[in-house]
Amino acid sequence: MGAGVTCNNDRKEKKIDRPVFYDQLLNILQSYLYPLSENPRLGFWQGNQIRDIISQFATTMVNPHFDDTIKVIGVDADGKKYDKVSRIEARGEESDMYIVLDVNSQLYPMHAGEKYRMVLSQTLHEDGSAVTSHNEGNKKSLADRFEYVMHGLLYKISDDKNQNGDAEVAVYVSFGGLQLLMKGTPVKMGKFKVDQRLFLLLLKE
């Protein structure tokens, strides 16, 4: 689509900024589809599907570094080292990324076999704009659509190889001491850069 959407008419050319256009479209989806999802005449799954469409569209605007359903394949495999922290092993269903993540198990317990939508993004703003230090209370936030959110620093990227000898990239992020390790093919890791600040969001499916 490019940087903007261009509308032509007989008198003038009008440009609509991409974030503004998408924000307007998201507002329409929320105004009309979200109330529909709460209609008791719809079944539980139909309502969830509508809410998922709205959430997926909002996240697409953000252009996240990672957005996939992950399946937990192990919890505290080496034993529980801290009372309030669990180390989760997971695998991305579409990306096939291997993930090791520390979570506050007192606030957000996760168990083997469960699936979660996981997003890594540089911003929480649904219009894709950067997070700044001034008051942004009027900004719509992705955090409202997820259950567990952390903010951290990407401090290391290294080259690695998997069990088959194929090239992999390992990314390390610290969320105030809670650690994230992600391993994937180089083509899927191109957005990650050292010293990026990232938000991690989780929602149980």
Domain spans of the chain, in order of start: 4-61, 63-204
pLDDT per position as a tens digit, 139-188: 677 888 899 999 999 999 999 887 888 889 999 999 999 999 999 999 88
Q: How far apart are CA 101 and CA 107, in angstroms?
A: 15
Are the CB atoms for 19 and 61 separated by under 8 Å? yes
CATH classification code of 63-204: 2.40.50.140
The pLDDT tens digits for 100-143 are 999 999 999 999 999 999 999 988 876 556 665 444 555 677 88
Quick one: which of 4, 34, 1 has its CA closest to 19? Answer: 4
User: Six-digit token pair at 121?
Assistant: 């993004």
The answer to whether the predicted template modeling score (pTM) of the entire model surpasses 0.85 is no
